[in-house]
A and B are shown apart, each in its own frame.
Chain A
Amino acid sequence: MTNTTDDDKEVEDLEITLLLEGMFKRYGYDFRDYSMAHLRRRLRYRLESSSLPDMGAMLHLVLHDRSFFELLLRDLSINVTEMFRDPDIYLMIRNEIVPRLKTWPFVKIWHAGCATGEEVYSMAILLHEEGLLERCQIYATDFNQIALKKAKAGIFPLDQVRKFTSNYQKSGGRESFSDYYTADNDSVILKNWLKTRIVFADHNLVTDSVFSEMQLVVCRNVLIYFNRDLQERIFQTFYDSLCPGGFLWLGSKESLKLSAIGKRFEALFPDEKIYKRAL
């Protein structure tokens, strides 16, 4: 890395800006309002791994080589997730939010940035056990088509099943977690019926518009990668996507606290990051 002076940093920042602009104009993926610190890290990682001299060279490559762009797309999307992640919050959803959802005749749930789908299936299991799944439609969206393909398949590595099972139990699971999958040598295959109320769709939070009128929007650990302006825009999207009195569930470290639109939500369970759109 030749990152030694303020001057060098200025040039690198400019190159990154051009790179992001190029990716947007050429491929339609918009990372221009992502967290700069996060972008620098991920792009420098790619620079080192592909032995490129500088970001300028990377710009050239990305414009001329679609497979390199796809590599970069993978670098820039973080898909860390697990079934029933933060089980105590799933318990709260089960005990506090599901009874409220039941007051609607039909419930639409948007899981924005669903990555490889673990948390979507968790929600389906929870709703099934609470007798609500049949009245629900779950939209699970992500811009990363590789992740989305995995989500649709519903097949996960066997070595994670212990963690998933323990999370499931802590989340107030009423059955045996093994009822929901079949296992082969190295993977668990979730039962197909879990998918009947889920629609997986390619949707980019940054560039695509409002989805539909939802009772619950789930978007966890996606917004942390965005800068403040983009966060504000996405919060607006969520507000517009929710019916009055609908719920927004964010990641454990995400919050509406510093956001201007936060005033139009009620912090229903602020520690669990569950908000309610004002009526």
Chain B
Amino acid sequence: MTTTMKRPPYEAVVIGVSAGGMHALRAILPSLPEKFPMPVVVVQHRGPEDDGFFAQYLDQRCAVQVKEAEEKEEAAPGMVYLAPANYHLLLEDDRTFSLTMESRVRFARPSIDVLFESAADVYGSRLIGIVLTGANDDGSRGLAAIKKRGGLAIVQDPASAEVATMPRAALQAAEVDFVLPLTTIGPFLANLCKE
């Protein structure tokens, strides 16, 4: 840990993204410093047959390590975890991951709501939830759950989103703390832990 790292009042970041996600995550995740002091957990909607290529692709472009979340693995700082295709990703009280094959939630598996709601249970007010570009309303219910527990809610400015439906739905469903254009979300997170 370098001396310039400050411990933020948050313990984890969850991100939900759908259509346009590849571009959006590429814009955000490379801004995070190698020792970013929180785990970042991402649900990106994708097809059931999708392999782990996307994690590898992002990992090569980020200072933080990017990988697919594994069953019972502990969520660690300085790591970005992607939900594997065709499974829901949940967080347990001991900060380990669970995967389930429960049916699709509003057409999605992995579902953003499922991750967000379980993370809200675990981290309470010490959680940041971010909803990015997408063509459905997944994440709205989850972001509202994060707010209910006193967490921080961020939504990508619909004007800067490849597809504005998902951020718009989130803005309607939850009292959002920050609406940020895509390019500022990464620096915003990085600044949380800078002196």
Contact = CB atoms under 8 A, between A and B. Distances in A.
B100 A254 contact: no
Interface in B102-129: 102-103, 114, 117-118, 121-122, 124
A147 to B, nearest CB: 14
Nearest to B124: A6
Contacts of B121: 3, 9, 37, 40
Interface of A: 1, 3-6, 9, 35-38, 40-42, 78, 80, 221, 224-225, 227-228, 231, 253-255, 257-258
A226 B103 CA distance: 18
Contacts of A42: 102
Contacts of B165: none
Which 7 residue pairs across A and B have the least CB separation, nearest first? Answer: A37-B90, A80-B101, A37-B118, A35-B98, A37-B92, A224-B99, A253-B71
Given A9-B121, A224-B71, A3 B93 contact: no
B149 A3 contact: yes
Contacts of B102: 38, 41-42, 78, 80
Contacts of B87: 253
B84 interface: yes
Nearest to A40: B121
Contacts of B114: 41
A257 B72 CA distance: 10
22 contacts: A1-B148, A3-B121, A4-B148, A5-B149, A6-B124, A35-B98, A36-B92, A37-B91, A37-B118, A37-B121, A38-B100, A38-B102, A40-B121, A78-B100, A80-B101, A80-B103, A221-B101, A224-B98, A224-B100, A228-B72, A228-B96, A231-B72
Contacts of B150: 4-5
A227 B114 CA distance: 18
Given A224-B99, A253-B84, A9 B118 contact: no
Given A38-B100, A225-B100, 9 more contacts: A4-B150, A35-B98, A37-B93, A42-B102, A80-B101, A221-B101, A228-B96, A253-B84, A254-B71
B90 A35 contact: yes
